[in-house]
Amino acid sequence: MTPSEIMSPDIPPAIPKYEQAYRTILERLKAGRYPVGGRMPTEDELARYFKVSRVTIRRSLDMLVQDGYVERRQGSGYRVVTLSPVSDTCLTSFTDAMLRTGREPTSRLLQIENLPAGDPRFAELPSELAGQAVTCISRLRLVDGKAQMLVHTYAASDLLRDAQPQDFPETGPAQSILRILRSRFMLEWSAACEDISPVAANAVMAEIFDIDAGTPILKQACSAFGDTGKTVFFEEVFRTGSVSFNLSQQIRIPTHN
Amino acid sequence: MTPSEIMSPDIPPAIPKYEQAYRTILERLKAGRYPVGGRMPTEDELARYFKVSRVTIRRSLDMLVQDGYVERRQGSGYRVVTLSPVSDTCLTSFTDAMLRTGREPTSRLLQIENLPAGDPRFAELPSELAGQAVTCISRLRLVDGKAQMLVHTYAASDLLRDAQPQDFPETGPAQSILRILRSRFMLEWSAACEDISPVAANAVMAEIFDIDAGTPILKQACSAFGDTGKTVFFEEVFRTGSVSFNLSQQIRIPTHN
DNA sequence: GAGTGGTCTAGACCACGAA
DNA sequence: TCGTGGTCTAGACCACTCC
């Protein structure tokens, strides 16, 4: 009895069991079914419930642990840690993060621009994007009406063909640039790196963010790459405030010698 | 035939097979055995070589992929991406990162200090550390003689009992504070979060880093937690330059609907 | 079509935690 | 002691890549 026989009576299996179980458990988690700080069902219980093997359900639980939602302890079981693990990278949806905490994110499209040859901004871009037509989308992100981030998204004009203002909603979940790049422009990426540096706010940003010129702010520069290693898009974010990360999944305890 | 029977003729097995294979492959990777951009052996070959099942060797390879060293593609195989994936969190060893790139990291112990009650720095610490005796270790980190980071490490004085200057070597791999906390003070942590914010260099830092006062620099604040959820230590890092991250492991491609 | 990774299973034994 | 997670296996079939 093969997996696809079980899960898909017909054509479109596509969603692996571990992914289905992951999503279902996460939904329940967020719905408060397993209270924060409380115990979760055991691996065996979950495996029985989802009708999968223990290996498979463990894979789902691995993802939840890595996401930072739950933690596990041998002999003791799983406990819910938090419903909103922090992670403020360019690849996590700011929109979703705000919605999750009950705040109101909005966007203001400032400009859709084809960079003219010789534009000095090419110097800031990954070299791979240089030497071709590049489109830059500039948006201001606000929370409860207050400016929080200035975002420039760069990609080869080929990939953003016919980008129009109406492609960039200013409210609701659809305003997420990551979602737009995927749904509207069919971009996909599988790897990325980000660099965070401190800069002084210039006059323009000072006005946007309502701070003094020269105030230190953060600049996040993120490159996303496709399966073939080609740069898919580049994003530059200027933001006030700080960014946070959950590092738990990075800890490799050198207990073994 | 159980795992421990195979791997450990006697007492101290402890190192799982997937960990052994992971380390061995990583060693070879760094030794240049599989050139960057080149193909790696297949899962079956590695499984045979290490005399483990494919599931186990896949776990080792998962770790390498997550670390950012290699990438895999269905139907094609594994390729080496880089020998030095970026990740500049407080929980990655600055010492090791520098040594890996052939540069010379050194440290200068500035102070070992028991915070007096009512010290204003308590306000910066996680609330959990407040209300008890706290020790602060201040060190300056240099690369090729140039100051790069100012690091304050805070922990309950209980945990840093009898900390002496000689506990903090100023050269070599042993200067890593993470290593010192583990080996000398037996601290262990399994979760952590980090917050990065921009600050203006004050007069002291300006002199340390040889920059103008008011120049934007980065402040990293990191809390590390033990198995029981208690804060083990808190670290505050001021640094010039930027920090970089490999985000590849965070990408959850929503291909499945 | 051959080769390679992607997913999945059923069953086993060990190590740790709590009662 | 018992329950829970930690590790491991041998074998299976599918989906994708490349020839």
Is there contact between A13 and strand D, defined as CB under 7 Å from any strand atom?
yes
A36 touches chain B (CB under 8 A): no
Helix (H, G, I), strand (E, B) or coil at A216: strand
Residues A154, A137: Cα–Cα separation, whole Å: 7
Same domain, B100 and B134: yes
Tell me, what CATH number does B169's domain have? 3.40.1410.10
Angstrom distance, B80 CA to D12 C1' = 29
Quote the pLDDT of residue B4: 35
Question: Is A255 among the domain residues?
Answer: no
Residues B72, A155: Cα–Cα separation, whole Å: 25
Cβ contact (<8 Å) for A246 and B193?
A: yes
Question: Is A214 among the domain residues?
Answer: yes
End residue of a domain, out of A20, A54, A80 = A80
Quote the pLDDT of residue B2: 35
Angstrom distance, B16 CA to C15 C1' = 13
Question: Is A14 among the domain residues?
Answer: yes
Same domain, A16 and A117: no
Count the helix, strand and coil residues of chain A and give each as a percent rounded to the nearest 5.
30, 30, 40
Same domain, A59 and A184: no
pLDDT tens readout for residues B130-156: 878 899 999 999 999 999 999 999 999
> Residue B1: pLDDT above 60?
no
Same domain, B7 and B117: no
Domain of residue B38, residue span? 3-80
End residue of a domain, out of B58, B80, B102 = B80
Contacts of B241 in chain A (CB under 8 A): 197
End residue of a domain, out of B33, B48, B80 = B80
- Do B241 and B148 form a contact (C-beta atoms < 8 A)? yes
Same domain, A187 and A208: yes
Question: ∠ CA(B27), CA(B31), CA(B35), 5° rounding?
Answer: 110
Contacts of A200 in chain B (CB under 8 A): 215-216
A65 touches chain B (CB under 8 A): no
Burial (0-12, 13-18, 19+ Cβ within 10 Å), A249: middle
pLDDT tens readout for residues B30-59: 888 898 888 999 999 999 999 999 999 999
Q: Of residues A153 and A6, which shows the higher confidence score?
A: A153
Question: Is B255 among the domain residues?
Answer: no
Same domain, B137 and B11: no
Q: Of residues A220 and A119, which shows the higher confidence score?
A: A220
Contacts of B244 in chain A (CB under 8 A): 193-196
Tell me, what CATH number does B75's domain have? 1.10.10.10
Is there contact between A228 and strand D, defined as CB under 7 Å from any strand atom?
no
Task: Give residues with Cβ within 8 angstroms of B150, minimum separation 6.
Answer: B138, B139, B140, B141, B205, B208, B209, B237, B238, B239
Angstrom distance, A27 CA to C5 C1' = 30
Same domain, A187 and A120: yes
Distance of CA B10 to CAs B1, B7, B23, Å?
15, 9, 22
Q: Report the residue from B19, B215, B216 with minimal CB separation from A256.
A: B19
Q: Report the residue from B198, B227, B245 with minimal CB separation from A216.
A: B198
Bases along strand C below 7 A from a protein CB: 2-18
Which residue places its CA closest to the C1' of nucleotide C10?
A53
Bases along strand D below 7 A from a protein CB: 3-18
Number of independent structural domains in chain A: 2
> Residue B230: pLDDT above 90?
no
Residue type, A80: V
Residues B180, B176: Cα–Cα separation, whole Å: 6
pLDDT tens readout for residues B179-226: 899 888 988 887 888 999 999 999 999 999 999 999 999 999 999 988
pLDDT tens readout for residues A118-171: 888 888 898 888 878 899 999 999 999 999 999 999 999 989 988 999 999 999
Burial (0-12, 13-18, 19+ Cβ within 10 Å), A136: buried
| For residues B72-90, average pLDDT | 87
Which A residues, 101 through 160, put their C-beta within 8 Å of a C-beta on chain B? none
Question: Is B103 among the domain residues?
Answer: yes
pLDDT tens readout for residues A35-64: 888 889 999 999 999 999 999 999 999 999
Contacts of A73 in chain B (CB under 8 A): 227
- The CA R_g of chain B, rounded to the nearest whole Å, is 21
Angstrom distance, B20 CA to D2 C1' = 31
Quote the pLDDT of residue A252: 66
Same domain, A176 and A95: yes
pLDDT tens readout for residues A69-116: 998 888 889 999 888 887 888 888 899 889 878 899 999 999 999 988
* Average pLDDT score over chain B: 86
Same domain, A164 and A222: yes
Same domain, A44 and A101: no
Angstrom distance, A251 CA to C16 C1' = 20
Q: Where are the beta strands (DSSP E) in chain A?
A: 70-73, 77-80, 105-114, 134-143, 146-156, 191-200, 216-225, 231-239, 243-246
Quote the pLDDT of residue A81: 85
Same domain, B110 and B76: no
> Residue A253: pLDDT above 70?
no
Quote the pLDDT of residue A116: 85
Question: Is A250 among the domain residues?
Answer: no
Same domain, A71 and A97: no
Question: Is A249 among the domain residues?
Answer: no
Can you say whether the dihedral through the CA atoms of B175, B176, B177, B180 is positive or negative?
negative
Quote the pLDDT of residue A5: 34
B189 touches chain A (CB under 8 A): yes
Write out the two tokens for A107. Answer: 């966007």
Question: Is A252 among the domain residues?
Answer: no
Closest CA to B232 of B179, B190, B194: B190
Q: Give the model's confidence band at B252: pLDDT under 50 very low, under 70 low, under 90 confident, else very high.
A: low
Quote the pLDDT of residue B214: 94
Closest CA to A243 of A89, A114, A30, A138: A89
Q: Report the residue from B15, B196, B222 with minimal CB separation from A196.
A: B196
